[in-house]
Amino acid sequence: MFEFEDHNSLEEQLMQASADSAIPLRGGLRQQVLDAARQARSRKIYTRSLVALGSFFLTVTMFFLIHDSEKSHRVASDRTPGWPKTIYVKGSQVLGISTAAAHRPEAIKTDWNSVQATLKQSGEWGLVDAVVRFRNERAGTIEQIFHRGE
Amino acid sequence: MEKLAPAKFAAKIRCCANDLQDHGVDRLGSLYDLTAHRLVRYAVTVTKNMSDAEDAIQATMVRIAMKPKILATAQQPWAYLLRVARNEALRILQKRKPLQIFAQCRQLWARDSEVVEDNDQAQVIRQALKRLPTNQSEVVVLKIWEDMTFAEIASVLDESPNTVASRYRYALQKLDGYLRPLAREDINV
């Protein structure tokens, strides 16, 4: 069957065999391959959607977190009539009152009732509650609290 | 199996890849029909068994279907496809490593008791190729059956052309050794 004088003839024999070397494939393999490819594509689309949805939720969460943290250090307007100090609040908790010198020329009323009245007038109901709580937790007038550094 | 000229075959593969890219996975069939028989012939030389070779072809096709652009833009699409098939075949073998020792023992036993009943020349050559180490038999398949140059084979196997050429030389020496006695037997008969 085989004749070898050198490797060239062996190569020729191998080459001749190549025509008959086709390996029959399993009948259902073609369909199996196509199904596998379709499944892989669906999986890829599903994964991409999941990643996109996850990114969206992450972005929205980050947005609200940043938005809330900016909001939480709310500063009551020092332009409210009759109140020269700035009240720093976080949520409904009063963090402190500014020690900055008053830059208002008009007479300032610093008793609790005036402060509450001013805040009520400006519609800052949350701050009114916070100021009441702040007052209840401390003794003395606003000036005394301020001088004590509370 | 229709034997196309390498350039024409590469052009057809590129065409199928472009089609796949444009129309999606549903067009994978044409690439499969064009290449599966030749791919499996090569994959069998790596895996040494048909079912693993078929699994490797399936994994190759799925991989190509997911990223057809790489195949469409490859300089040598057929070499690229063979390389993907080889990687998939090696991955499958890697997964089956714990069972490999058993399989090798079985293969050695089968080799000793191997009787080539079928006198078909292709069958005899296939058996002889099976007896070669994988790295040599795949070079022979790529060189002779796939009509590739040593440089192209080197790019598929990620080896230097010199290494590939020497593997080819050793493989032919061994094949010569395996097949010559059969030739003598034939003459004596």
Query: To the nearest whole angstrom, how far is the Cα of A91 from the nearest Cα of chain B?
Result: 51
Last residue of one domain, picked from the residues B98, B129, B159: B98
Is the same domain home to B46 and B138?
Answer: no
Judge whether B108 lies within some domain.
no
Judge whether B123 lies within some domain.
yes
Is the same domain home to B94 and B8?
Answer: yes
Above 90 in pLDDT, residue B160? yes
Nearest CA in chain B to A39: B62
pLDDT in tens, A62-118: 998 887 766 655 555 555 555 666 777 777 777 777 766 555 556 667 777 888 788
Tell whether ipTM is more than 0.85: no
Last residue of one domain, picked from the residues B41, B70, B98: B98
Single out the residue of B35, B23, B20, B21 nearest to residue B81, CA to CA.
B35
Query: To the nearest whole angstrom, how far is the Cα of B105 from the nearest Cα of chain A?
Result: 25
pLDDT at A103: 56
Chain B touched by A26 (CB under 8 Å): yes
Mean pLDDT, all residues of chain B = 83
Chain B touched by A29 (CB under 8 Å): yes
Match 């991955």 to its residue by tokens. B91
Tokens of B99: 């069972």
| Cα dihedral B68, B73, B77, B81 sign | negative
- Per-residue DSSP letter, B164: H
- Per-residue DSSP letter, B141: I
Nearest CA in chain B to A11: B144
Judge whether B152 lies within some domain.
yes
**In B, which residues are within 8 Å of A47 by CB distance?**
none
Is the same domain home to B66 and B142?
Answer: no
Q: In the sheet where A74-75 sits, what is the strand order?
A: A74-75, A87-90, A93-97
Is the same domain home to B85 and B131?
Answer: no
Query: Is the Cβ pair B28, A34 closer than 8 Å?
Result: yes
pLDDT at B125: 81
Judge whether B107 lies within some domain.
no
pLDDT in tens, A21-56: 667 778 788 899 999 999 998 998 999 999 999 999
Is the same domain home to B58 and B133?
Answer: no
Judge whether B78 lies within some domain.
yes
Of B66, B126, B182, nearest to A40 by CB-CB distance is: B66
Query: Is the Cβ pair A21, B58 closer than 8 Å?
Result: no
Domain that holds residue B22: 1-98
Single out the residue of B144, B28, B37, B134 nearest to residue B89, CA to CA.
B134
Last residue of one domain, picked from the residues B65, B98, B131: B98
B145 or A96, greater pLDDT: B145
Is the same domain home to B17 and B92?
Answer: yes
Chain B touched by A16 (CB under 8 Å): yes
Query: For residue B181, what pLDDT band results from cuts at 50, 70 and 90?
Result: confident
pLDDT in tens, B54-84: 999 999 999 999 998 999 999 889 999 999 9
Is the same domain home to B23 and B93?
Answer: yes
Is the same domain home to B140 and B52?
Answer: no
Chain A touched by B11 (CB under 8 Å): no
Q: How many domains does chain B have?
A: 2
CATH of the domain at B171: 1.10.10.10
Judge whether B103 lies within some domain.
no
Q: Please state, in angstroms and rounded to a whole number, the distance separating the CA atoms of residues B33 and B17.
A: 13
CATH of the domain at B60: 1.10.1740.10
Is the same domain home to B93 and B127?
Answer: no
pLDDT at B104: 59
Instruction: Collect all residues with Cβ–Cβ distance below 8 Å to B47 and sequence separation of at least 6.
Output: B53, B56, B89, B92, B93
Judge whether B60 lies within some domain.
yes
Above 70 in pLDDT, residue B98? no
Is the same domain home to B64 and B14?
Answer: yes
